[in-house]
Amino acid sequence: MPAPFAPVDTTGLPAADKRSKQDELLNALISRLATCGNPFWTERLDGIDPASISSVDDLPLLPFTVKQDLRDQYPLGMITTPMEATTRIHASSGTSGKPTIVAYTPNDLALWAEVNARALALAGTRPEDILHNGYGYGLFTGGLGLHYGGERLGCTVVPVSGGNTALQLQLLEDLGSRILSATPSFCLVLAERAHALGIRERLSVEVGILGAEPWTEGMRKRVQEAWGGGFVALDIYGLSEVIGPGVAMEAPDDLGALNVFDDHFLPEIVDPDTGEPAPDGEFGELVITTLTKEAMPVLRYRTGDITRILPCEGDTVRSNSRNWTRIARLTGRADDMLIIRGVNVYPREIEDVLMDDAAVGTNYAIVVDRRGSMAELRVRAEATSGTSNLVDSAERISKAVADRIRIRADVELVPEGSMPRTEVGKVKRVYEQLDDRDPLT
């Protein structure tokens, strides 16, 4: 018999032990960054005596890292280990040209596999499971991140990547995979096609490990309904600058909370405008320090993602005996916010309204029309198959949007199946219109 796979830690250390470990690791990280000889870090930590950083409480004394630092240091200016120590790079696609590059040593890759194995285990994945991994393989971290996590846990990974929906469904059926990892939008495409082909009942998939895109509770309901049969959609969070997927994971007995693997990724919440620590439990920008990464650690990295730390004391879910820091599912990014006629609008608020209406399917796009002096909001959404009067339904939804966000939106309902599906990469839902070319055609 081959040796069983080593168990993964889904619980974390009790608070006091965790805290002293974090203190120790933070101090070691600062000492290493200050002395590694990398000019970026030497300059960034100028004037900071590593010995003075002895506890997590000292974090506010330390400088932030931001995405622009990675861009300025493109490609590998922030690497702290010699090239012979690194074995992998990944990149996140830049909206403004150059991607940001991240590098890994073998220990970083082992750590990454470990946290993804934890994420999968928290979701209920077992070594005997087949993991159908529909995240893109390549420079994007989703595919290989979940892949090695699955292997570390002992599952059998199907490295199918995104796209080729027909083949994906055939493999799901023939292999009987129970766990599906993919973006929420692609998970929906698979469910929709499985129904269209009449093969849903022949698939054994029960759990979705969904992330890399924002998705609301309303969307969760839709994903679960689309699959039916008790399918559970769980949220996985991560970002390439920190490591990729596997920074935090939702468990089925504690929906709505992401467990941050805080023995490696130290979370803080700050005011996105001032950078000051947010009061306990308040919403703000998630900031992460990588405590153990070797090749490209980040110090107080401003993720841009908005969330809050959830309480852990006196909270019934703590009977689950896990000790990870829990954060709320992300409510959007600070830079997602649209300003329309002076009103701040988050795309998720529109998704909430759409997913609440039975006439609307799961495909939609938002256009901010900036041609005139005042921006106008346009929403195009697919109707569900039973919706007969598209115009009346659109009028009702337009009212509901106005009630929710206090500005009028021109809502158009189009027949089911008439909008494009995203089978590879992250779905794009928000478009700007600056001239007469319609971004949705």
Query: Contact with ligand DLL (CB under 6 A): which of 333, 348, 380, 429?
Result: 333
Place of tokens 């040209």: 97
**How far is residue 284's CA from residue 395's CA, in Å, rounded to a whole number?**
35
Q: Closest distance between ligand DLL and the C-beta of residue 92, in Å?
A: 4
Residue 347 interacting with ligand DLL (CB under 6 A): no
Decide whether 150 or 400 has the Cβ nearer to ligand DLL.
150
Residue 135 interacting with ligand DLL (CB under 6 A): yes
Q: Closest distance between ligand DLL and the C-beta of residue 211, in Å?
A: 3
Q: Closest distance between ligand DLL and the C-beta of residue 209, in Å?
A: 8
Please provide the DSSP assignment of 28-83 as one string: HHHHHHHHS--HHHHHHTTT--GGG--SGGGGGGSPPB-HHHHHHTTTTTT--S-G
How far, in whole angstroms, is CA 241 from its chain's centroid? Answer: 12
Please provide the DSSP assignment of 168-192 as one string: HHHHHHHHT--EEEE-HHHHHHHHH
Decide whether 398 or 422 has the Cβ nearer to ligand DLL.
422
For 102, the token pair is 């991240």
Could you tell me which stretch among 37-45, 110-118, 208-216, 260-268 binds ligand DLL (CB under 6 A)?
208-216
Residue 142 interacting with ligand DLL (CB under 6 A): yes
Q: Which residue is nearest to ligand DLL, using beta carbons?
A: 211
- Contact in structure between 69 and 102 (CB atoms under 8 Å): no
Residue 303 interacting with ligand DLL (CB under 6 A): yes
Place of tokens 């995240």: 135
Residue 141 interacting with ligand DLL (CB under 6 A): yes
Residue 214 interacting with ligand DLL (CB under 6 A): yes
Q: Around Cβ 291, how many Cβ atoms within 10 Å?
A: 19
Site for ligand DLL in 219-248 (CB under 6 A): 235-240, 244-245
For residue 96, with 0-12 CB atoms within 10 Å meaning exposed, 13-18 middle and 19 or more buried, which class applies? exposed
Residue 284 interacting with ligand DLL (CB under 6 A): no
Query: Contact with ligand DLL (CB under 6 A): which of 160, 190, 207, 212?
Result: 212
Q: Closest distance between ligand DLL and the C-beta of residue 240, in Å?
A: 4
- Contact in structure between 215 and 184 (CB atoms under 8 Å): yes
Residues making contact with ligand DLL (CB under 6 A): 92, 135, 141-142, 211-214, 235-240, 244-245, 303, 305, 330, 333
